[in-house]
Structure 1
Amino acid sequence: MQTVIFIGIFGALGCLCRYYLSGWVYDIVGRAFPYGTFAVNIIGAFLIGLIMEFSLRSTLVSPQLRVGLTIGFLGGLTTFSTFSYETFRLLEDGELLIASVNVLTSVLVCLVFTWLGIAAARYI
């Protein structure tokens, strides 16, 4: 039951962080490119690498907390569905280049940031 509570609490926090962080990014740089979604997904990629690597190598993070942080918080923070929708809308609007850049940079940059998170956890 503790795991379910962690998922719920951290999931709500992740959703709120996504809402405020992506909104803040859009306020700063505009909406010509899905920067807000890009930002939360990059942050989430880094954090999942960091959390998983650290928690699997250490006893400081319980399995319940790890699940709460990854499934709950990061599940609420990151968003593949918004990424898909925004990319689809770009394609529908004839913005093939921007849609392609969104897909390629999102996948590649998120992989790099996951690796950076893992590397950071190994350094700790």
Structure 2
Amino acid sequence: MTQVPSLPLGSALVFLGGGTGAWARYMTGRICTALLGPAAATFPYATLAANVLGALAMGILTGWLARHGTAGEPWRLLLGVGILGGYTTFSSFALEFALFVERGQLGLAALYVGLTMLAGFAALFMGLYLMRSFG
């Protein structure tokens, strides 16, 4: 049986993990800048690294949780929702896409990717437009 933490405990796990993940994202940027020097400003290497590393970590975490039974909900909240969510939401996006693919729902997988990309880019440009027009 899955052990669901109480709301206060679950919230604390996500909160602590999220802060840790955000700090790790910051450090990824610092490390990329230190390793690449001025070249770090020519391409979003830190974002690419965070997205790929986060997706790898989400795959490892999901596989581990699946292998070790249903008592892993606190770990999912701390590591998956918290740390990886704070590090990159791409890891969650990649997992959700993979779940569609594994269930054979290729149309939904394509729709999810397309909607996420189009809506995300459209929303970003809308926000820029609003701030430039009214800000």
The TM-score with structure 2 as length reference comes to 0.55
Name the counterpart of 1:73.
83
Residue 5 (1) aligns with residue 16 (2)? no
Look up the SS of the partner of 2:43 in the other structure: coil
Distance 2:43 2:85 in 1: 22
Name the counterpart of 2:27.
20
Map 1:1-124; keep pairs closer than 5 Å.
1-29=8-36, 30-59=40-69, 62-78=72-88
- Note the alpha carbon deviations across 1:38-95, whole angstroms, 9 max, x for none: 1111110000000011112204962122122111100111156xxx78xx8xxxxxxx
Contiguous gaps of at least 5 residues in structure 2: 1-7, 91-119, 125-135
* Preserved contact between residue 10 and residue 68 of structure 1 (Cα < 8 Å): yes
Cα root mean square deviation, aligned: 2.5
User: Aligned partner of 2:18: which letter?
Assistant: G
Shift >3 Å, 4+ stretches: none
Name the counterpart of 2:4.
none
* Preserved contact between residue 37 and residue 79 of structure 1 (Cα < 8 Å): no
* Preserved contact between residue 3 and residue 65 of structure 1 (Cα < 8 Å): no
Distance 1:34 1:28 in 2: 13
Contiguous gaps of at least 5 residues in structure 1: 89-124
- Greater relative contact order structure (CA < 8 Å, 6+ sep): 1
Question: Rg: which structure is higher?
Answer: 2
Name the counterpart of 1:92.
none
Distance 1:55 1:61 in 2: 8
